Amino acid sequence: MAESQLEGLRERLTAVGQDHVLRFWPELDAAGRSRLAAQLEEIDFEALGRALAGIRARASAPPASLEPAKVVRFDAGLGRPDDSAARERGEALLASGRVAVLVVAGGQATRLGFAGPKGAYPIGPVSDRSLFEIHAQRIRRIRRRHGAPLPWYVMTSAATHAATRSFFAGKAHFDLPQEEVFFFSQRSVPAVDFEGRMLLDAPDHVFESPDGHGGVIPALAASGALDDLESRGISSVFLWQIDNPLVRIADPVYLGLHAAVGAEASCKVVAKRDPLEKVGHVAMVDGRLGIIEYTEIDATHREARDERGDLVYWAGGISIYVFETDFLRRVSADAERRLPFHASPKRIPALDRSGRRVEPIEPNGWKLERFVFDALPAARTTLVVETTREEYSPLKNASGSESPETVRRDLSTLYRRWLVEAGIEPPPEDALIELDQSLFDGAVDLRERGISRIADSGESIRIASGAQS
Ligand code: UTP
């Protein structure tokens, strides 16, 4: 790197109080210098400074006024799988080919401790099918049922992009047309110490992490995925998170309700099990629909109960959204304001003064993340729909709650219910069950295919007998 270029870089860094990242420069060889310089060229320090200032300003701002959100309740009939008016409307939308599906899969799966992308994790209760494959099966079924394309957009990150692409390639894109699967990567952002200074994890490298699931909206625009959606005439985008294999992808009832009220943004909720459950609180925030992350709500609102003793803020967000394409375009154009960064204290590998890399035991800085639900207040019309736990069982941890064991059990429990509802004798209680989701999404499909015994189903219903974990 030329001396003048280095000086330019140093000046920019000094102006934003980040020149400490050049402290090992004199000791770096030519390759190290160009690696660090190239990385720093890509970082928008000014935007980082504004993000940190925004975080500080919000921390000292008065708390937002909260009211419970209006929710289409499951028990009221609307939004249930047998809500035929909504279903017909949603099915028509699917048949018109104006729906796309989008999964956010850029997370690092640190709690799960899995080396590959989380989507590659083998979760099928009997088959060990991956999360990606279970989702792909559902997509195949919907495409076939409605005779229309259902493009699938997969958001990765620097941490997961290459491995995700090769996983899909190795599985022949799960028999989906390759031109209907679109990969795009979210951005990374530097983490900072508690004084807002970037952290080096090597003498020639600044530690960065994916910019949160909210990074999906700017990444859609920057990658060309949004242009692609528009060129395909997609009006509604169904978004979910990779780690929940129970999600009813492109649920026609949900799409139908969304379309019926002309919503720009919709979200599904479940009733929280207890005030501390780790799901976002869906509420009216300063008069607009929003979600307050479980780490950010105050105890008074979190614990508030009505005269019957029920939680006032009972609606927990489970990250299942429908967004209109126009809405995504509008938010992406104003992303810095609409999708502010949040800071979470984390343990971040960093060099100590002597240049030794340390894996801290306690949080030593903040990772910065955007949340996709911060887009909600920008929507002119919104809809919140309650669903049941049958649609939510995320894979977060290696053991205990929200672990492979609980997710497999919940999948198997759902499949068991379908069998029973279709009048098929299920296997003993301690057996695990798995259905091929490219064929079945409920008892109706089992009946339609004329299956009355597991033995007649070939490989499409699989059983692992005996107690399995
Ligand atoms: P989580 O934070 O719950 O899961 O993100 P994670 O990142 O996979 O795992 P941990 O936190 O490191 O243990 C919820 C969803 O949002 C996606 C994840 O892939 C997951 O589907 N996500 C999260 C992104 O796509 N990008 C991000 O930057 C963060």
Spacing, Cα 420 to ligand 1 middle (Å): 35
Spacing, Cα 228 to ligand 1 middle (Å): 24
Q: Match 């057996």 to its residue by tokens.
A: 431
Which atom of ligand 1 lies closest to the CA of 105? 19
Whether 342 lines ligand 1, by a CB cut-off of 6 Å, is no
Spacing, Cα 105 to ligand 1 middle (Å): 7
Spacing, Cα 211 to ligand 1 middle (Å): 10
Spacing, Cα 45 to ligand 1 middle (Å): 24
Neighbours of 368 (CB within 10 A): 22
Spacing, Cα 396 to ligand 1 middle (Å): 9
**Three-class SS of the chain:** CCHHHHHHHHHHHHHCCCHHHHCCHHHCCHHHHHHHHHHHHHCCHHHHHHHHHHHHHHHHCCCCCEEECCCECHHHCCCCCCCHHHHHHHHHHHHCCCEEEEEECCCCCCCCCCCCCHHHCECCCCCCCEHHHHHHHHHHHHHHHHCCCCCEEEEECCCCHHHHHHHHHHCHHHHCCHHHEEEEECCEEECEECCCCECEEECCEECEEECCHHHHHHHHHHHCHHHHHHHCCCCEEEEEECCCCCCCCCCHHHHHHHHHCCCCEEEEEEECCCCCCCCEEEEEECCEEEEECCCCCCHHHHHCECCCCCECCCEEEEEEEEEEHHHHHHHHHCHHHHCCCEEEEECCCEECCCCCEECCCCCCEEEEECCHHHHHHHCCCEEEEECCHHHCCCCCCCCCCCCHHHHHHHHHHHHHHHHHHCCCCCCCCCCEEEECCCCCCCHHHHHHCCCCCHHHHCCCEEEECCCCC
Spacing, Cα 172 to ligand 1 middle (Å): 25
Which residue's alpha carbon is nearest to atom 9 within ligand 1?
109
Whether 87 lines ligand 1, by a CB cut-off of 6 Å, is no
pLDDT reported for residue 467? 55
Which atom of ligand 1 lies closest to the CA of 118? 8
Spacing, Cα 180 to ligand 1 middle (Å): 24
Q: Any bridge partners for residue 269, and if so which?
A: 317, 386
Which residue's alpha carbon is nearest to atom 22 within ligand 1?
107
Whether 436 lines ligand 1, by a CB cut-off of 6 Å, is no
> Residues near 246 by Cβ (< 8 Å), separated by ≥ 6?
390, 391, 392, 393, 410, 411, 414
Spacing, Cα 243 to ligand 1 middle (Å): 8
Quick one: fold of 63-396?
Spore Coat Polysaccharide Biosynthesis Protein SpsA; Chain A (3.90.550)
Whether 213 lines ligand 1, by a CB cut-off of 6 Å, is yes
pLDDT reported for residue 469? 47
Which atom of ligand 1 lies closest to the CA of 106? 25
pTM score of the predicted model = 0.96
Which residue's alpha carbon is nearest to atom 27 within ligand 1?
212
Residue 126, class by beta-carbon neighbours within 10 Å (0-12 exposed, 13-18 middle, 19+ buried)? Answer: buried
pLDDT tens digit at each of 469 positions of the chain: 677 788 999 999 999 999 999 999 999 999 999 999 999 999 999 999 999 999 999 988 887 899 999 999 988 877 788 889 999 999 999 999 999 999 999 999 999 999 899 999 999 999 999 999 999 999 999 999 999 999 999 999 998 999 999 999 999 999 999 999 999 999 999 999 999 999 999 999 999 999 999 999 999 999 999 999 999 999 999 999 999 999 999 999 999 999 999 999 999 999 999 999 999 999 999 999 999 999 889 999 999 999 999 999 999 999 999 999 999 999 999 999 999 999 999 999 999 988 999 999 999 999 999 999 999 999 999 999 999 999 999 999 999 999 999 999 999 999 999 999 999 999 999 999 999 999 999 999 999 999 999 998 999 999 998 754 4
Which atom of ligand 1 lies closest to the CA of 155? 25
Whether 290 lines ligand 1, by a CB cut-off of 6 Å, is no
Whether 196 lines ligand 1, by a CB cut-off of 6 Å, is no
Whether 210 lines ligand 1, by a CB cut-off of 6 Å, is yes
Which residue's alpha carbon is nearest to atom 2 within ligand 1?
107
Residue ranges per structural domain of the chain: 3-59, 63-396, 400-469
Neighbours of 276 (CB within 10 A): 10
Spacing, Cα 468 to ligand 1 middle (Å): 28
